[in-house]
Copies of this chain bind each other. A is one copy, B any other.
């Protein structure tokens, strides 16, 4: 579970709740108005349903779950696995990799190694692996887009709700005492829109972008590693190449490219 996302989300909500609680003269009722909630959330969902294919909209909860539940994989473990495969291939030939397929869990690496074992031509292999990378990126992208759209349409319907509230209030100014509360209610939709956008949709869309780039880097490492294994490159050179993707602290330096 991505503990930071959970803390951020709960913390952000608590901040707003507490700031209302400690404000003199404030009451929570003044901040809860169901028609306003429906206007902002419903309006944003209506706009997103027009804007995006239905099957993408339905993935909304899966997408949110992915942000909350993601766990960050260890890149250096991935590199270790590829180097270990390279050593097997160097020692016993490419076909020996077939016996190691069952210990791999990532279907992308299984696909690559299987093709190497099958003797697929390198250019066909790289073509298939890179098309797969693009396809994964496109699927992540469409998930990010739903959240981007909500982050754009929630404040827009917040403004629409406030305009509706203001027009109603301005048409009934006979009672001056009602002006203040009327405007307070009108502003609620703008507040809801700002919270939905800035505490939920936009940050989650950003996180999805990160997860997607991270996945692309993992797949890039896998592609380069598998292609190098297929080309029969020295496991030490493969390791050195792939380790450049790690931040310097995680990298052991000095065991340079002795043999190339």
Contact = CB atoms under 8 A, between A and B. Distances in A.
With a 10 A CB-CB cut-off, give which of A57, A170, A190 has the most chain B CB atoms: A170
A46 interface: yes
Interface in A140-178: 149, 153, 156-157, 159-161, 163-168, 170-173, 177
B171 A181 contact: yes
Contacts of A168: 20, 23, 25-26, 30
A39 B53 CA distance: 32
Interface string A200-218: 1011101100100010000
B131 A244 contact: yes
Interface of A: 2-5, 7-9, 11-12, 15-16, 19-20, 22-23, 25-27, 30-31, 35, 38-39, 42-43, 45-55, 57, 67, 72, 107, 111, 114-115, 118-121, 124-125, 127-128, 131-132, 135, 139, 149, 153, 156-157, 159-161, 163-168, 170-173, 177, 179-181, 183-184, 187-188, 190-191, 194-195, 197-200, 202-204, 206-207, 210, 214, 237, 240-241, 244-248, 253, 256-258, 260
B166 A124 contact: no
Contacts of A256: 111, 114-115, 118, 120
Contacts of A183: 170
A129 to B, nearest CB: 9
Q: Give me the 10 closest cross-chain CB pairs, A-B, nearest first.
A: A8-B49, A12-B46, A50-B203, A173-B180, A51-B206, A4-B54, A51-B203, A170-B184, A8-B50, A156-B198
Contacts of A12: 42-43, 46-47, 50
A19 B161 contact: yes
Contacts of A48: 8, 203
21 contacts: A8-B50, A12-B42, A12-B46, A15-B43, A25-B168, A26-B171, A43-B198, A46-B199, A107-B248, A119-B260, A120-B257, A120-B260, A127-B241, A135-B246, A139-B247, A159-B194, A167-B187, A170-B183, A170-B184, A171-B184, A173-B180
Contacts of A8: 45-51
Given A51-B207, A163-B194, A183-B170, A15 B30 contact: no
